[in-house]
Structure 1
Amino acid sequence: MKKKLTSRYVATVTAPGPKRLEVYDQTLSGFGLRVSLAGRKTWFCSPRVDGRVRRLTIGTYPALSLADARQKAQEQLRNAQLGLEPEPKADTLGDVVPQFVELYAKPRNRGWRTQERLLMHHWKPLFDVPIDQIKRADAVRVLDSIVASASAGSANNAMAVFKKLMNWCVDRGMIDANPIAGLKTPRKPVARDRVLSDRELEAVWSAADKDAYPFGPLVQVLILTAQRRAEVGEMRWSEIDFETSTWTIPAGRAKNGIAHDVPLSPAVLDILQNVPRFAGSNFVFTTTGTTPVSGFGRLKERLDREVGFSDWWFHDLRRTAASGMARIGVAPHVIEKVLNHKTGVISGVAAVYNRYSYADEKREALEKWAMTVNSSAKNACERSHQYLTSKDSKGVLTPCAAN
C-alpha cells in the first residue's frame, strides 16, 4: 500500500487485520511504516544493495517522529546509492514479540494469547531496546515493577514467557546468550485455595442471572459444568450433542490436550436452549458471531459491584464446584474425571491401564451439583421474598431470577 505519510495519518492509522499493515511513503520511495495488529508502529526503509533489496528498521513511533524517521531513511537510501554499506540495526524487543508469537507461540501453545498479553503488557518498557542490548538488570527492573504493582504470580508468568522468547532468539541467532538464564523467579507463588461460600455462590449466580447474554449465561454454565473459563468461553455448537446431552471439548482446546466429554445436566441444557444464536456462527457465547466472547475483566467488575466482594477469580468457581461435589458425596476420582485432570487420584500405572470414562458417574455428579446449586438459588430467592414482604407496605414481591 502506498500513501503520502502525514503526521495525522501516522498518529491515527491502525492495522485492519488479519495481518499487519505496511504503508510505503509516496514522498520518499523506499521509506515506510509498519503497523502491527497490537498497534505498534515501526519505521523502515528498503535500500537496494548489490542488486538486492534489504529491509532496515529505523525506529518506532512516537519515539521517532515522521520528520526524523524520513530523514534517517533518506540517509540510508543515499548511502546505498553511493555504494556504502547500510548500518545494520538489530530488531527491538517490540519488533521481535510479534515474530515470536506468530512463528513460535501460535503453532505450539494453545495458550498463546496469554503469552502475547503478558509480553505486550508487562515488557512494553523495553520495546524500544534492541534485542541484543537487553541486559539482565533491565529485565530485573521490569520484574520488580510487576511485583510492586501486581502479584508474584504475574511476575513469575511474565518471566517465564520472556525467558522462552529470549531462548527462541538464541536459537535464531539474534542474540548470543539469554540474559536471564538462571534467574530465579521473583517470588514463590502462593497456591490459591479460594472456595466461595454458599451465600457467595448464590450472589454470583443471581448477579449472572441479571447480566445479559452472553456473559450471564456463560457464568452460570461455568458454575454448573466446573470447566475452565477459556473452554466454556470458546464453546461451539458443533461440540454439543443435544440427543445425548453431551458437550465434547476437543483435544485442541482442552488445556491438557485430552479430549473431554462433559455431560450436560438439564439445568445447563435449559440455559443453552434459551440463548440466542448468531446466524452462521458456531460460537455459543459471542458478541460478533465471528469470534468467541471477550471482555472478562469488565464482566468481573460488574459482578463484583453486584455481589459486594471482589476477592475471587472465575477459576475459583471451578474449585468451588469441585469442593461442592465432594461435599455432597461424589467420589474424588469422579471429580477428577469431571475436571479432566491428568493426575491425582488416578495416576501412575493406574492411569495407564484405567481407560474407563466414568461417563455415568460424571453425569450423576454434575446433575447432583446442578440440583444443589438450583436449590441454593431458590433458598436465596425465598429469603429475599420474605425480607421484601416484611418491608413492603403494599405486600409486593420482587420477582426472583433463580432458575
Structure 2
Amino acid sequence: MAALNGKLTKRLVDNLGPGRHGDGAGLYLVVDPSGARRWIVRVTVKGQRNSKGAPLRTDFGLGGADVVTLNQARERALEYRRMAKSGLNPRYNAKREIPTFEEMARQVHIERLPTWKNAKHGQQWLNTLRDYAFPKIGRMPVDSIGQPEVLMCLSPIWTAKHETAKRLAQRLKTVLDVARSAGFRDGENPVTAIKEGNVLPKVQVRRHHHDAMPWQDVPAFYAELSERSATAARALQFTILSACRTSEVLGMTWGEIDWDAQLWTIPAERMKGGVEHRVPLTQEMLAILEAMKALGGDYVFRGQKRAAPLSNMSMLMLLRRMGRDQYTVHGFRSSFRDWAGEAAGAPREVAEAALAHQVGSEVERAYARSDLLARRRALIAQWSKFVSGAD
C-alpha cells in the first residue's frame, strides 16, 4: 500500500495551476493552460535502449483527471513501473480497460477545448451528448456501441429536433472515431453506416431567413428608438448603424475602442469567422458610446450587473414591445446590405467586407489582404446619415 501514497491530494488535483506536478515515483498530473488535467507516468524499461543507446525512458498517458481518480492513476502507474522493471514495454503489454462512452466523450471534450473559439461553444458540444446520449449509452463500454445504440440516441429526435439530431450524430461519430484511433474499437463507425445506408428518414428542412425590415423603413424606426431611454434602445441603434451581429455589439468592451482613430476593433475570438474585424465609428455611433460612458461597467452596453453585458434577448424583446415582432435584430444586417446595393451602389466586396463576410476563394482571399477600411468608412458614414436623418 505504501506504493499508492504520494505528494498529491484530491484538493491539489482539482486546484493546481498549469504545469507538470509530480506525485512521486514517475507519476505526474499535467495541467494545460486551458485547465484540462491529465495523468502521465514516466518509466525506464529495463534492458531496453532508445535510438541513441540511452536507457529507454518513456511517458505514458493514463487518462484525464476528470475520469481517472488519483488512486486509480497511482494503481495504473504502479502497474506500468512493474512491467518496465521486468523489461516489458507498457506500450505493448499494459492491460487496457475499455472506457465507457461518457468517459471517452469527456476526454475528447477536454482535448478539444483549445480548438473552440470560446468555452461556451465547447460546453454546447458536451451538453448535446449529455442530454441525448449519456442517458442511453453513457455507461456502455465504447467498444460495444453499434448501430442499434446510435439509433437509440438519434431516432427520438431525428424529425422533431432535426438540427440538434444532426449535431448529435456528428459528435457521436467524433467520439467513436477517436475511440477507434486509441485502439478501443474496431470496424466501421456505426454513425457512418447509418448515414450511408439511409437508415433514418429524409427530413425536408425549410431554410429560415432572418426577417429584415425594408431599408426604406429603417430611418423612421430609428427615430422611434431615439425617443426611448433604455440601454437596449441604444444598443439596437448601434447595431443598426454598425451592421454588426448582436453578440459582437453586446460583447463590446471599452478597451476595444480607439477614440482617436474613431475605430472599434473586434478581436478574432469574438468573430464568427475567427478573424479580427475593424469597424469605423461615425459621429452618430460615437455619440451613443459617449452616452453609455456614464453608466460605467466593463461592457459598453452593460446589463443589470456592472460586470455583465446586456442580455442577448433584450433587443429582440424591444422589437416586440414596439410592435415589430415580424423582424429580427439580425435582419438589420440584411437591411443594410439591401440599401448598400440598391441605394448606395456600393461594390459587392465593400458591402460584404462591412458585414465581415469573406468573399471569393481561399486563393483570392490570400491575395486580398486589405480590409478596405477607408472605403468601408465612407459607406458606413453614408448609411449613418441615411438612418439618422443627419444632413
Question: Aligned partners of 1:50 and 1:357: how far apart in 2?
Answer: 54
In the alignment, what sits opposite 1:370? 384
Q: What's the CA shift for 1:216?
A: 4.0
Please say if 1:181 is aligned against 2:189: no
Please say if 1:116 is aligned against 2:131: no
Please say if 1:101 is aligned against 2:109: yes
Please say if 1:163 is aligned against 2:173: yes
Measured against aligned partners, the alpha-carbon deviations of 1:47-77 in whole angstroms (never above 9, x if no partner) come to: 67488599xxxxxxxxxxxxxxxxxxxxxxx
Matches within 5 A, 1:69-88: none
Q: What's the CA shift for 1:275?
A: 1.4
Q: What's the CA shift for 1:207?
A: 6.7
Please say if 1:218 is aligned against 2:225: no
Change (3 A) 1:125 1:257: closer
Matches within 5 A, 1:45-84: 46=71, 49=75, 52=78
Question: Aligned partners of 2:334 and 2:279: how far apart in 1?
Answer: 16
Question: Aligned partners of 2:174 and 2:132: how far apart in 1?
Answer: 18
2:374 is aligned, of 350, 360, 364, to: 360
Change (3 A) 1:367 1:192: farther
SS in 1 for 2:111: helix
Measured against aligned partners, the alpha-carbon deviations of 1:171-216 in whole angstroms (never above 9, x if no partner) come to: 4445446431252696465544434123589669857975843x44
Measured against aligned partners, the alpha-carbon deviations of 1:2-41 in whole angstroms (never above 9, x if no partner) come to: 99xxxxxxxxxxxxxx979xxxxxxxxxxxxxxx9xxxxx
Q: What's the CA shift for 1:335?
A: 0.5
CA contact (8 A) 2:218 2:387 kept: no
User: What is the TM-score normalised by the length of structure 2?
Assistant: 0.61
Q: What's the CA shift for 1:263?
A: 0.7
Aligned residue pairs: how many?
305
Q: What's the CA shift for 1:274?
A: 1.5
Question: Aligned partners of 1:114 and 1:208: how far apart in 2?
Answer: 35
User: What is the TM-score normalised by the length of structure 1?
Assistant: 0.59
Matches within 5 A, 1:25-44: none
CA contact (8 A) 1:204 1:303 kept: no
Q: What's the CA shift for 1:363?
A: 1.1
Change (3 A) 1:135 1:318: farther
Please say if 1:91 is aligned against 2:81: no
Q: What's the CA shift for 1:326?
A: 1.9
In the alignment, what sits opposite 2:271? 254
Question: Aligned partners of 2:118 and 2:293: how far apart in 1?
Answer: 28
CA contact (8 A) 1:239 1:248 kept: yes
1:323 is aligned, of 331, 338, 353, to: 338
Change (3 A) 1:102 1:88: closer
Structure 1 portions without partners, runs of 5+: 4-17, 21-35, 37-41, 55-85, 379-403
In the alignment, what sits opposite 2:132? 125
Change (3 A) 1:300 1:100: farther
Question: Aligned partners of 2:210 and 2:239: how far apart in 1?
Answer: 16
SS in 2 for 1:180: helix
Structure 2 portions without partners, runs of 5+: 1-8, 12-33, 37-65, 81-94
Whichever residue aligns with residue 306 of structure 1, its letter is R
CA contact (8 A) 2:10 2:70 kept: no
Change (3 A) 1:99 1:316: farther
CA RMSD of aligned residues (A): 4.5
State the percentage of identical aligned residues.
21
Question: Aligned partners of 1:307 and 1:333: how far apart in 2?
Answer: 34
